[in-house]
Amino acid sequence: MAADSEPESEVFEITDFTTASEWERFISKIEEVLNDWKLIGISSGKPLEKGIYTTGTWEEKSDEISFADFKFSVTHHYLVQEPSDRDGKEEPAEDALPLPMQDLLCMNNDFPPRAHCLVRWYGLREFVVIAPAANNDAVLSESKCNLLLSSVSIALGNTGCQVPLFVQIHQKWRRMYVGECQGPGVRTDFEMVHLRKVPNQYTHLSGLLDIFKSKIGCPLMPLPPVSMAIRLTYVLQDWQQYFWPQQPPDIDALVGGEVGGLEFGKLPFGACEDPISELHLATTWPHLTEGIIVDNDVYSDLDPIQAPQWSVRIRKADNPQCLLGDFLNEFFKLCRRKESTDEILGRSAFEEDGKEVADITHALSKLTEPAPVPIHKLSVTNMVHSAKKKIRKHRGVDESPLNNEVLNTILLFLFPDAAEKLADGVESGTSPSSGNNPPPENEDYNLFSQFKSAPSDSLTYKLALCLCMINFYHGGVKGVAHLWQEFVLEMRYRWENNYLIPGLANGPPDLRCCLLHQKLQMLNCCIERKKARDEGKRGSVSDRSPGGSSGDAGKGADHSGDNSKETDKEKEVGKSWESWSDSEEEFFECLSDTEDLKGNGQENGKKGGTKEGSKEPVNLKPEGRLHPHGKLTLLHPGEPLYIPITQEPAPMTEDLLEEQSEVLAKLGTSAEGAHLRARMQSACLLSDMESFKAANPGCCLEDFVRWYSPRDYIEEEVVDEKGNVVIKGELSARMKIPSNMWVEAWETAKPVPARRQKRLFDDTREAEKVLHYLAVQKPADLARHLLSCIIHAAVLKVKEEEVLEDISSVKKIIKQIISHSSKVLRFPNPEDKKLEEIIAQIMSVEAIIARARSLKAKFGVEKCENEEEKEDLQRFVNCLLEQPEVSVLGAGRGPAGSVIHKLFVNAQRLTESSDEVSAMPPLDEELRRSGSSDERRLNTGTVPDFPPPTGREVILRTTVPRPAPYSKPLPQRMYSVLTKEDFRLAGAFSSDTTFF
């Protein structure tokens, strides 16, 4: 046993010396990532085109690796190049330098305006960065930095990767990187210095050349020439006040109408402050050789006026205060309020006083209570006016959120017919307002159907704009509540007094509009029906008067009256309490038929006998005829078929339609439920059948179908017994189904003209429902209803302003806003977050247009007299808005350059002395002047034209053998940037690893 156990114990004693350490695992992970991204082997590519770093597309890939438990992110940044660049190329020469080393010397993309910092510092098109994964992690100790750099070096050596690999060290805000790039027999080390305070000797070109040469340590004498690129950046911050054209709104003049774009019914536009905070002028010397210019601590040849290249970028103000944006945001805040109108204005407004009625909402129940009090004393109008008196009694004039002047101005704006009523008396209410005209057909006008808002000439749209204005300038939510209360009272007054509401299209509610607009249209329909009924009553009373009708007419009226009495008796049994008001209001009072039609009807009644399918006696007088059909005749008597006067179907708003569909859906799918659903849906059909029977005594179902649904009456040519071709007709298959809805309805329908039928549309009840709906709306509900109108108005305002500026990028954003808004606003209760996105988009457009106007004013585009120069300046301003950096044609001597020069000169004078500012000629005079820089200096005295540069950037390049005289000549590069806050040197120094 002992012998057997010995081999086993030997196995357990084996020590594996191949176990990898954490460091080796880390290197292996780096190599694995480089392999996955296919960064192994020789990198190839064509020379870079000018400006490709700005116009081209940059992409990045990321992965995560760890060193023990410390996580790093690895990111590959690269410029996207055409696939053809890599394929089908000849093999590069064996001694060709790696692509990144060639990029170090490329001068086509110095100082790119938008790029990764390593692209700006080293001019690389592709590189990999290893950085601590967490934002607060940092590699601080020197030993850790060296360990990471060693790992990178080993990984590059093992894989043969020629892409530069960087490691981020120190805190992330410092943007400190060290890195390496390896090629066949060559290596480039990327090093960096970052200081808070710059040593004096490095503030000028000669000092930087010294440090560059000492770092290269080239053994050759004389040293090959150093190529230089220099950029000085000047910042203009002191804009003069008269350059900003936007005047602040005159709020005191709002009521008088002279409000400079802020009158009721219009939205304001523009920034209240200058949306351009700074202008950065970069003066560049792209190709200089050492010795051409002098720049030391005593003297400098770097005069910005003489720079061959000028480029400008603007710094935008952070969230500039813009009027339209403020209006939208303040109105949107209303949507989040919880208070009701009563809570805002004080509940005491409707407190009970003695034995008077406590609340407007009780008016309807009081009307329907049986009481000995005369009905006119309990009218809704009387209760409203008593409530209105109490409101004014409890709330003093001074306490009202809106003063009378503002309120009257708004009400006259919303109801322009009110002024006519005061002048012309009651009859002015009979003609609808000009707002009821057919709308113009254009894209902007029809925007309401996409946004589900309201037409731009409608009352709802105007109300939204007035509420927006009041919310911002006249008392906030209290002002909104006050105006809404007055608006609801005005609606009730118009309903009671038969005045049509102006600014609403005729006809049933337009389901393309917001619900509030539909409700107002519904109220208008009710007013229209009530008015027609009241006028009909007056007409029928005058017809019955002895002096107002002929003998025949009197007979007809008597006959009609008797008939109506009989029908009253028949119908009274089935009449519901809910639909009952009083005997006269129960029926439509349509206009009487013409005498000749009555005569014809009586003859028809005498001729006809009882026909199949019609159970009505045929001696009835025809009633409710509109006009003869013209083509059709009744099948059996052969008399002309008359189209009856029918009741119009009840108009519906979208919430009523939804409610109705829910009720119908709840009936279920059973046979009984389906039958009940069909009966509910056939109320209109039954009414039309009754009207048809009254107008055409002796008719049958086939006659009705031929008029009402011609497709359901099929006609065929057949040959009769005598051989003649005759047309024979019959009902369609669906009409022959036993106990179908049409047959049932026809059998139950009685010959009753429309004016004596039960109303399909009870306008009194519907109007009270609408008025109650309006009265209970909170300011927040109101804001929700009208937000789509406000967004609609804002988009129209932005489009109107954009037309004046003609900015292509703004056109695209406006299309996006319309597309986005139409998706969001089409559905009820859109999310707040999506609404905020729409408002933010509108604000961004407003800011862009404000910036365009600011720049146009600063560059004097409108004042320029030379058309060619004006076009150049306009183009330059448009480019400034859309591009990160814009080159100035002609540098300091072009039209834009001379304006920029004057701006700097004026700012310098301002800082030097305020006395000189008062004597300073205005900008347009300055623009007309021209001359050399020496003349300018004479004109401006001792004050320099430009302030000291805010930033100094220098790129030094050369190709020298390193480290030994016999080494291969390799690219060396050093980038330097000096600002007020810091000083940075970023060097890329190459060395020969074969011959050293």
Task: Write down the pTM of the prediction.
Answer: 0.69
Higher pLDDT, 315 or 866: 315
> Do the beta carbons of residue 992 and residue 964 sit within 8 Å?
yes
Structure confidence at residue 64 as a pLDDT band (50, 70, 90): very high
Q: Which residue has the tokens 């585009």?
A: 861
Q: How far apart are CA 177 and CA 508, in angstroms?
A: 71
Q: Please say if the pLDDT value at position 41 is more than 90.
A: no
Least confident of 171-180, 313-322, 652-661, 943-952: 652-661
**Residue 914: helix, strand or coil by DSSP?**
helix
Q: Please say if the pLDDT value at position 793 is more than 80.
A: yes
> For residue 987, what pLDDT is reported?
95
> Do the beta carbons of residue 953 and residue 975 sit within 8 Å?
yes
Taking the alpha carbons of 90, 96, 99, 104 in that order, is the dihedral positive or negative?
negative
Express each pLDDT in 264-307 by its tens digit.
777 888 888 888 888 899 999 998 888 888 888 888 888 889 89
**Residue 661: helix, strand or coil by DSSP?**
helix
> Do the beta carbons of residue 350 and residue 342 sit within 8 Å?
yes
> Do the beta carbons of residue 624 and residue 691 sit within 8 Å?
yes
Cβ neighbours of residue 195 closer than 8 Å, sequence gap 6 or more: 982, 983, 984
**Residue 244: helix, strand or coil by DSSP?**
coil
Q: How far apart are CA 332 and CA 326, in angstroms?
A: 10
Higher pLDDT, 317 or 193: 193
Q: Which two tokens stand for residue 839?
A: 């408002």
Size of the chain, expressed as the number of residues it contains: 996
Q: Which residue has the tokens 């700006």?
A: 120
What residues are paired with 72 via a beta bridge? Answer: 65, 132
Instruction: Count other C-beta atoms under 10 Å from residue 320's C-beta.
Output: 21
Higher pLDDT, 217 or 925: 217
Read out DSSP for 710-762? GGGEEEEEEE-TTS-EEEEEEE-GGGGSTT-HHHHHHHH-----GGGSPPSS-
Express each pLDDT in 377-407 by its tens digit.
444 444 444 444 444 444 444 466 777 888 8
Q: Which residue has the tokens 């003489």?
A: 306
Read out DSSP for 844-888? HHHHHHHHHHHHHHHTTTTT---HHHHHHHHHHHHHHHHSS-EEE
Q: What percent of the chain has pLDDT over 70?
A: 72
Read out DSSP for 804-819? HH--HHHHHHHHHHHH
Q: How far apart are CA 898 and CA 914, in angstroms?
A: 23
Express each pLDDT in 220-232 by its tens digit.
777 788 999 999 9
> For residue 252, what pLDDT is reported?
45
> Do the beta carbons of residue 301 and residue 237 sit within 8 Å?
no
> For residue 926, what pLDDT is reported?
45
Q: Which of 782, 784, 793 lies closest to 268 in space, CA to CA?
A: 793
Q: What is the DSSP letter of 322?
A: B
Express each pLDDT in 871-927 by its tens digit.
888 888 888 888 888 888 888 888 888 888 888 888 887 776 554 444 455 544 444
Number of H helices, E strands in the chain: 33, 17
Distances in Å between the Cα of 42 and the Cα atoms of 82, 95, 159, 710 are: 17, 12, 11, 82
Structure confidence at residue 374 as a pLDDT band (50, 70, 90): very low
**Residue 460: helix, strand or coil by DSSP?**
helix
Residue 860, sorted as left (phi over 0), alpha (psi -120 to 50) or beta, turns out to be left
> Do the beta carbons of residue 456 and residue 517 sit within 8 Å?
no
Q: Please say if the pLDDT value at position 207 is more than 70.
A: yes
What residues are paired with 310 via a beta bridge? Answer: 283, 888
- What's the N-to-C CA distance of the chain in angstroms? 66
> Do the beta carbons of residue 322 and residue 270 sit within 8 Å?
yes
Higher pLDDT, 696 or 153: 153
**Which amino acid, one-letter code, is at 530?**
K
Q: Please say if the pLDDT value at position 429 is more than 70.
A: no
Q: How far apart are CA 163 and CA 254, in angstroms?
A: 66
> For residue 269, what pLDDT is reported?
84
Q: How far apart are CA 119 and CA 112, in angstroms?
A: 8
Higher pLDDT, 975 or 667: 975
> For residue 167, what pLDDT is reported?
94
Q: How far apart are CA 641 and CA 388, in angstroms?
A: 55
Q: How far apart are CA 41 and CA 99, in angstroms?
A: 12
Q: How far apart are CA 528 and CA 428, in angstroms?
A: 14
Read out DSSP for 934-945? HHHHHHHTTS-S
> For residue 544, what pLDDT is reported?
36
Q: How far apart are CA 900 and CA 855, in angstroms?
A: 11
The strand pair at 126-132 and 165-169 is best described as parallel
Q: Please say if the pLDDT value at position 771 is more than 80.
A: yes
Q: Which two tokens stand for residue 460?
A: 């709802």
Q: How far apart are CA 45 and CA 47, in angstroms?
A: 7
Instruction: Count other C-beta atoms under 10 Å from residue 187's C-beta.
Output: 19
Express each pLDDT in 800-835 by its tens digit.
888 888 787 888 888 888 888 888 888 778 888 888
> Do the beta carbons of residue 956 and residue 210 sit within 8 Å?
no
Instruction: Count other C-beta atoms under 10 Å from residue 681's C-beta.
Output: 12
Higher pLDDT, 330 or 666: 330
> For residue 675, what pLDDT is reported?
63
Q: How far apart are CA 321 and CA 463, in angstroms?
A: 25
> For residue 973, what pLDDT is reported?
94
Tell me what the mean pLDDT of segment 250-255 comes to. 44
> Do the beta carbons of residue 848 and residue 881 sit within 8 Å?
yes
Q: How far apart are CA 353 and CA 365, in angstroms?
A: 19
Torsions phi, psi of 91, nearest 5?
-65, 130
Q: What H or E segment, with its residue span, contains residue 131?
A: strand 126-132
Q: How far apart are CA 873 and CA 890, in angstroms?
A: 12
Q: What is the mean pLDDT of the chain?
A: 75
> For residue 94, what pLDDT is reported?
59
Q: How far apart are CA 852 and CA 848, in angstroms?
A: 6
Q: Which two tokens stand for residue 102?
A: 């060639």
476-496 and 763-775 are packed helices; what angle lies between their axes, rounded to 10 degrees? 170
Structure confidence at residue 506 as a pLDDT band (50, 70, 90): confident
Tell me what the mean pLDDT of segment 93-118 comes to. 85
Instruction: Count other C-beta atoms under 10 Å from residue 438's C-beta.
Output: 7
Structure confidence at residue 678 as a pLDDT band (50, 70, 90): low
Higher pLDDT, 592 or 657: 657
Selection from 163-177, 451-465, 512-526, 637-651 with the highest mean pLDDT: 163-177
Residue 422, sorted as left (phi over 0), alpha (psi -120 to 50) or beta, turns out to be alpha
Q: Is the peptide bond before 248 cis (omega within 30 degrees of 0)?
A: no
Q: How far apart are CA 460 and CA 466, in angstroms?
A: 10
Per domain, the residue ranges of the chain are 22-82+96-218+962-992, 226-325+816-915+945-956, 630-764
Q: In 29-112, which ranges are E strands?
A: 58-67, 70-79
The strand pair at 886-888 and 309-316 is best described as antiparallel
Q: What is the DSSP letter of 44?
A: -
> For residue 118, what pLDDT is reported?
93
